[in-house]
Copies of this chain bind each other. A is one copy, B any other.
Amino acid sequence: MKTVRVATAVAYDVRIGPGLLAGAHEAVRGRSACAVVSDKKVTRLYKSSVGTLADSPWFELEPGEDSKSFATLERVLDFQSRSRLDRRSTLIAFGGGVVGDVGGMAAALYMRGIQYVQVPTTLLAQVDSSVGGKTAVNLAAGKNLAGVFHQPSLVIADTSTLATLSDDEFRSGLGEVIKTALLTGADALALLERDASRIWSRDPSALETVVEMCVRTKAAIVSRDPHEKGPRKLLNLGHTFAHAIEHEAGYGKVPHGVAVGVGLCLALATSQRTQRLADPELPARVDALLAAFGMPRSLAALTGVKLDPARLVSAMSLDKKNAAGKLRLVLPVSAGDAIFDVEVDEPSLLATLRAPHSA
């Protein structure tokens, strides 16, 4: 088991390793009460693995992005109240990114904030969304437009749970893994390239190494900038493209990590077109990694959706990271080096989206 410490104003540990679910109940020892928010699928697969925690009040979301709504959030808040949680209680978010985002936000709002523990069960949640305290639901106008920063008190990433993910769910996390390797540096990229087939076959030790690498990088970045005033924006590499893709395709149609994978290719292409890319081999390396994991590498390769470049640009302009109507992107420069708050004009963005690589 690895423990990574996240030192925001309130520091907390991220525990990573196989078989950690059985000890999860220890996280709520001494609390006045606890309750669990999960989804139907995770409950069916893993409720029997969490020992005495299974006796706690338990709320099951419908799996999927549709649960990231205000209506669901209100139901989880009502559930906390029915479970008689008070300010010294703990909510446990047990599941993937949707459960973590909605559960974390419900804990943040209940009585103006109670403690919560993230128990992520997907690769996406373990390498990214469970760490850093971002919580959110979607608005009609866009993804994650309503939310709050609320750090968990503990994250328990049981890597055994990754074995039951479908290939598509697993790929969804790999998009974030490649993004994080790009931000981490040459060694991290080389590690993925070397271990690609072990990772794809879900070798337990390779998975633990990958999750730890991603959590260490994310912890280092969010510790420096918990509220995304500056360098934390780097974590949005590929995401302005990805959010626009998800928005235009209709939420839930394109898995988040898959959209991020394509977003990384588009960010690299934009970086190249606007002459910010210092390492010309980077696009081919990311391309090869995506290929090794069987992931789409262009807009055209996204199955079942047809996206209009002009509409994508318009959706991108709604992104939270913009300011004063200007589109701002994170662009990769080389392995371990990216720049944020880069203003990119719409014509060159459109040209990138219309290029053969994208179309």
Using CB atoms and an 8 Å cutoff, list the residues of chain A in contact with chain B.
32, 70-71, 73-74, 77-78, 81-82, 84, 86-88, 108-113, 134, 136, 139-142, 145-149, 227-228, 318, 320-325
30 contacts between A and B (CB under 8 A): A32-B323, A32-B324, A70-B71, A70-B74, A74-B139, A77-B146, A78-B139, A78-B141, A81-B139, A81-B141, A81-B145, A81-B318, A82-B141, A84-B325, A86-B320, A86-B322, A86-B323, A87-B323, A88-B323, A88-B324, A108-B148, A110-B146, A111-B320, A112-B134, A112-B136, A112-B147, A112-B148, A112-B227, A113-B148, A113-B149
Q: Which residues of B contact A70 (CB under 8 A)?
A: 70-71, 73-74
Residues A146 and B109 in contact, CB atoms below 8 Å apart: yes
Q: Which residues of B contact A325 (CB under 8 A)?
A: 32, 84, 86
Q: Which residues of B contact A139 (CB under 8 A)?
A: 74, 77-78, 81
Q: Which residues of B contact A81 (CB under 8 A)?
A: 139-142, 145, 318
How many angstroms between the C-alpha atoms of A318 and B86 in the bound complex?
A: 9
CB distance from A110 to the nearest CB of B (A): 7
Q: Which residues of B contact A71 (CB under 8 A)?
A: 70
Q: Which residues of B contact A141 (CB under 8 A)?
A: 78, 81-82
How many angstroms between the C-alpha atoms of A145 and B73 in the bound complex?
A: 13
How many angstroms between the C-alpha atoms of A317 and B199 in the bound complex?
A: 52
CB distance from A314 to the nearest CB of B (A): 12
Instruction: Please name 9 further chain A to chain B contacts, defined as beta carbons within 8 Å, in addition to the given A77-B146, A84-B325, A109-B148, sorted by A numbering.
Output: A70-B74, A77-B145, A81-B140, A82-B141, A86-B322, A111-B145, A112-B148, A112-B149, A113-B227
How many angstroms between the C-alpha atoms of A145 and B147 in the bound complex?
A: 17
How many angstroms between the C-alpha atoms of A87 and B84 in the bound complex?
A: 35
Q: Which residues of B contact A145 (CB under 8 A)?
A: 77, 81, 110-111
Q: Which residues of B contact A112 (CB under 8 A)?
A: 134, 136, 147-149, 227-228, 320
Which A-B residue pairs are the 5 nearest by beta carbons? A81-B141, A32-B324, A70-B74, A111-B320, A109-B146
Q: Which residues of B contact A142 (CB under 8 A)?
A: 81
Q: Which residues of B contact A136 (CB under 8 A)?
A: 112
CB distance from A196 to the nearest CB of B (A): 35
Q: Which residues of B contact A321 (CB under 8 A)?
A: 87
How many angstroms between the C-alpha atoms of A324 and B32 in the bound complex?
A: 5
Closest B residue to A33 using CB positions: B324
CB distance from A137 to the nearest CB of B (A): 9
Residues A87 and B320 in contact, CB atoms below 8 Å apart: yes
Residues B147 and A109 in contact, CB atoms below 8 Å apart: yes
CB distance from A84 to the nearest CB of B (A): 8
CB distance from A136 to the nearest CB of B (A): 7
Select which of B88, B148, B228 is within 8 A of A148 by beta carbon: B148
How many angstroms between the C-alpha atoms of A320 and B312 in the bound complex?
A: 45
CB distance from A319 to the nearest CB of B (A): 9
Q: Which residues of B contact A324 (CB under 8 A)?
A: 32, 86, 88
How many angstroms between the C-alpha atoms of A73 and B32 in the bound complex?
A: 30
Q: Which residues of B contact A109 (CB under 8 A)?
A: 146-148
Closest B residue to A82 using CB positions: B141
Closest B residue to A135 using CB positions: B112
Closest B residue to A9 using CB positions: B9
How many angstroms between the C-alpha atoms of A78 and B146 in the bound complex?
A: 9
Q: Which residues of B contact A113 (CB under 8 A)?
A: 148-149, 227
Q: Which residues of B contact A108 (CB under 8 A)?
A: 148
